[in-house]
Chains A and B, each alone.
Chain A
Amino acid sequence: MRNKNPEQKNGVIAAKNQSLHQRTKSDRRWFFFFISPWLVGFVILTVGPMIFSLFMSFTDWDMLTKMNFIGLDNYKNLFHDEIFILALKNTFKYTLISVPVNLVISLAMAYLLSFKLKGMRFFRTLYYLPAIVPAVASSILFKNILAKNGLLNKGLSFLGITGPAWLLNKKAVIYGFVFLAVWGVGGTMVLLLSSINSIGDEMYEAADLEGASRFKMFTSITVPQISPVIFFNLITGIIGSLQTFTQVYMITDGGPDNASQMIVPYLYKNAFSYYRMGYASAMAWILFFIVMILSVLVLKSSSAWVFYEEEMK
Chain B
Amino acid sequence: MDMKVSKWFGITSVMALSTIMIAGCGGGSGSDDSADGATTIEFMHWGGDETYEGDYEERIKQFEKENSDIKVKTITVADDYDTKLQTMIAGKEAPDVAQVAENGTGFATKGAFIDLSDRIKDAGIDMDETWGAAIDLYKNEDEIFGLPDRGGSSILYYNKDMFDDAGLNYPATDWTMDDYYKAAEAMTNDKEGEDKRWGSTAGDYNLVWGNFLESNGGGIMDQDGKVIFDSPENLKTLTEYNDAFKKWSVDFETSEDAVNRFQAGVVGMNMTGFWDIKANSEVDGLNFGISTMPIGTKPTSWSTGSALTISSQSSDKEQEAAWKFIQYMTDEDAQQILGKGLNDCPANLKVLSSDEFLNQKVGDQDLDLSSIATAQERVVIDGLLAGPWYSEANDEARDKVKEMLLGHITPEDTVHTVQENLEKIVDKY
Contact = CB atoms under 8 A, between A and B. Distances in A.
Q: Do chains A and B touch in the complex (CB under 8 A)?
A: yes
A63 B86 contact: yes
Given A62-B110, A165-B252, A273-B391, A43 B15 contact: yes
From B22, B254, B391, B395, residue with most partner A Cβ within 10 Å: B395
Interface in A3-47: 43-45, 47
Secondary structure call for the B interface: helix
A274 B86 contact: no
B1 interface: no
B83 interface: yes
A275 interface: yes
B391 A256 contact: no
Contacts of A168: 252-253, 406
B19 A48 contact: yes
A148 interface: yes
Interface size class of A (residues with CB under 8 A): 20 to 34
Interface in B408-426: 408
Contact of A48 (B21, B253, B388, B391): B21
Nearest to A250: B79
Contacts of B129: none
Contacts of B266: none
B15 A47 contact: yes
Contacts of A51: 15, 19
Secondary structure call for the A interface: loop
B160 interface: no
Contacts of B254: 148-149
A258 B252 CA distance: 17
A101 to B, nearest CB: 27
B402 A43 contact: no
Interface string B249-275: 000111100000000000000000000
Interface in A158-172: 165, 168, 170
Contacts of A45: 18
B406 A256 contact: yes
Given A65-B110, A256-B402, A257-B403, A44 B15 contact: no
A155 interface: no
A256 B403 contact: yes
Interface in A133-164: 147-149
A261 to B, nearest CB: 10
B111 A165 contact: no
A230 to B, nearest CB: 35
B180 interface: no
B89 A64 contact: yes
A148 B111 CA distance: 46
Given A64-B89, A272-B82, A165 B253 contact: yes
A274 B175 CA distance: 38
A48 B18 contact: yes
Contacts of A64: 86, 89-90, 107, 110-112
A44 B86 CA distance: 23
From B89, B107, B252, residue with most partner A Cβ within 10 Å: B252
B400 interface: yes
A257 B252 CA distance: 14
Interface of A: 43-45, 47-49, 51-52, 62-65, 147-149, 165, 168, 170, 255-258, 269, 272-275
15 contacts: A44-B18, A48-B18, A52-B19, A63-B90, A64-B90, A148-B254, A149-B253, A168-B252, A255-B402, A257-B402, A258-B399, A272-B83, A272-B86, A273-B395, A275-B388
Interface of B: 14-15, 17-19, 21-22, 80, 82-83, 86, 89-90, 106-107, 110-112, 252-255, 388, 391-392, 395, 399-400, 402-403, 406, 408
Report the 4 A-B pairs with minimum CB-CB distance, sorted nearest first.
A48-B18, A64-B110, A148-B253, A273-B391
